[in-house]
Amino acid sequence: MSDNAELTSKYVLQTVPFDARFPNTNQTRNCFQNYTDYFKCIAAKGEDFPPCKQFKKAYNSLCPNEWISKWDEQRENGTFPASLEP
């Protein structure tokens, strides 16, 4: 089996499914909403709750890595601009 075939069988690449709350092509708000929803979900249900993982997949797909790093840093410093309470 070639290396390319092995990689294809190990990883499945998917895009985020359509979300009717964000019908426009600009996905910035969708990115931010999924980020905040993930942390609200794990605060309420814990990290092992499977529906929470969908939010994480979505924000990792939609958001630039720089934004995620910045928001993680803001959460750690207590300066994140949104409430993450469930």
Residue range(s) defining the domain that contains residue 60: 37-77
Q: Report if residue 26 sits inside a domain.
A: no
Q: Is the pLDDT of residue 5 over 70?
A: no
Our measurement of the distance from residue 2's CA atom to the centroid of its chain's CA atoms, rounded to an integer in Å, reads: 32
Evaluate if residue 1 carries a pLDDT over 50: no
Measured CA to CA in angstroms, residue 10 lies from 3, 6, 30, 50, 60 at distances of 11, 6, 28, 21, 19
* pLDDT for position 6: 55
Q: Is 14 inside any structural domain?
A: no
Is position 28 within any domain? no
Q: Does residue 41 belong to any structural domain of this protein? A: yes
Does 48 map to a domain?
Answer: yes
The pLDDT tens digits for 20-69 are 877 777 888 889 999 999 999 999 999 889 999 999 999 999 999 999 99
pLDDT tens-digit readout, 70-81: 999 999 999 999
Task: Report yes or no: 16 and 61 within 8 Å, Cβ to Cβ.
Answer: yes
Give residue 8's pLDDT band: very low, low, confident or very high (50, 70, 90): low
The count of domains in the chain is 1
In a domain, 29, yes or no: no
